[in-house]
Amino acid sequence: MLTRERIALKVLEEAGGSLPKTVFVKLMFLLRMETGLKQNSSFYDFVPYKYGPHSFALYRDLFRLGSYGYVEEGDDFVALNQKLLVETQHQTEGLARNLQFAVADIVERYGQMKASPLIKVVYERYRWYALNSERSERNHFPIPSRPKAPPAVYTIGYEGKTVDAFFNYLLEEGIKTIIDVRANPVSRKYGFAGRRMKEIGERIGIGYQHFPTLGVPSRERAYLTDKASRIKLFDRYEQITLVDRRHEVSRVGNHMKSEPTVLVCIEKDVECCHRSRLALAVAEETGMEVINL
């Protein structure tokens, strides 16, 4: 079991075994923001959603914990399974002391609050995360408006990011649309398969489009062993693929001129990704500068 899943169980344990789901998520958010877990890259990240700070990864882990029998979920609550309390305690006792203390501190400070007052506390202190909120509590505070990035050819790689951190960053940078330039948009990392990216993006107000013909087929990547072989592949991509796909390049350019749009692939280092050459082709087409996020 992941440490972050044990922390989720510990929160429920400290709170008496059951919490309204909105309160539970806010406690997990406050653990991220107000304890040493702020520096822990393996803990949950959050993104502005219709109820305030939200973690798609946390909900996925709750589903996993439910499938193992540790928790039970309803529409508005999450609770420990009373039949597995001994096994749950065994899992939570394995947490490091500093993590147990962090959970106890957050639950002591906030765990007895009703949903609405707790939401107000969160919205007042962390107003960015109320950006997409549909709850009336957001009306009590001036909430920042969503930024809009200036026209440019934006690119980004999701390597090393959680799906929640990735989408939160795009919102912060003022991006409106993702253009996925993977030939085959599959991923073992949660949230980054094309269908799931599209679904999450739609929920938080970021569009998704897939241009598979502007990707590099996996068979052509199979023999990349060093920098020289990578450069050779990208040269061929630039000289053949992008020439043959001028229409698709123009379509991408039109998207980028109409609203802030980002080319997305996996590699963090743009120089290790074909999107570097695609971005240059789009920049030449549109006259806009390339900005690697």
Predicted pLDDT at 222: 66
The span from the CA of 14 to the CA of 100, in Å, is 9
**Per-residue pLDDT tens over the stretch 194-242:** 999 999 999 999 999 999 999 888 777 767 767 777 888 888 888 889 9
Q: Identity (one letter) of the amino acid at 68?
A: Y
Predicted pLDDT at 227: 75
Predicted pLDDT at 234: 86
Predicted pLDDT at 217: 81
**Per-residue pLDDT tens over the stretch 119-160:** 999 999 999 999 999 989 999 889 999 999 999 999 999 999
Predicted pLDDT at 172: 97
Predicted pLDDT at 233: 82
**Per-residue pLDDT tens over the stretch 158-171:** 999 999 999 999 99
Predicted pLDDT at 74: 87
The span from the CA of 190 to the CA of 57, in Å, is 8
H or E segment to which residue 207 belongs: strand 207-210
* Residue 267: strand, helix, or coil: coil
Q: Where are the domains of the chain?
A: 3-140, 153-292
Q: Which CATH architecture has domain 153-292?
A: 3-Layer(aba) Sandwich (3.40)
Computed over every residue of the chain, the mean pLDDT equals 93
Predicted pLDDT at 85: 87
| pTM (global) more than 0.85 | yes
Which pair of tokens denotes residue 78?
């999450």
Q: Give the whole-number percent of the chain exceeding pLDDT 70.
A: 98
Q: Who contacts 278 (Cβ-Cβ below 8 Å, separation ≥6)?
A: 181, 214, 242, 249, 252, 263
User: 292 falls in which pLDDT band (50, 70, 90)?
Assistant: very high
Predicted pLDDT at 98: 93
Angle (deg, nearest 10), helices 3-14 and 85-93: 120
Q: Identity (one letter) of the amino acid at 281?
A: A
User: 3-140: which CATH topology?
Assistant: Arc Repressor Mutant, subunit A (1.10.10)
The span from the CA of 118 to the CA of 108, in Å, is 13
**Per-residue pLDDT tens over the stretch 55-94:** 999 999 999 999 999 999 888 899 999 888 889 998 999 8
The span from the CA of 32 to the CA of 27, in Å, is 9
Encode 9-21: b = buried (16+ Cβ within 10 Å), e = exposed: bbbbbbbeeebeb
Predicted pLDDT at 185: 92
Q: In CATH terms, are 3-140 and 153-292 the same topology?
A: no
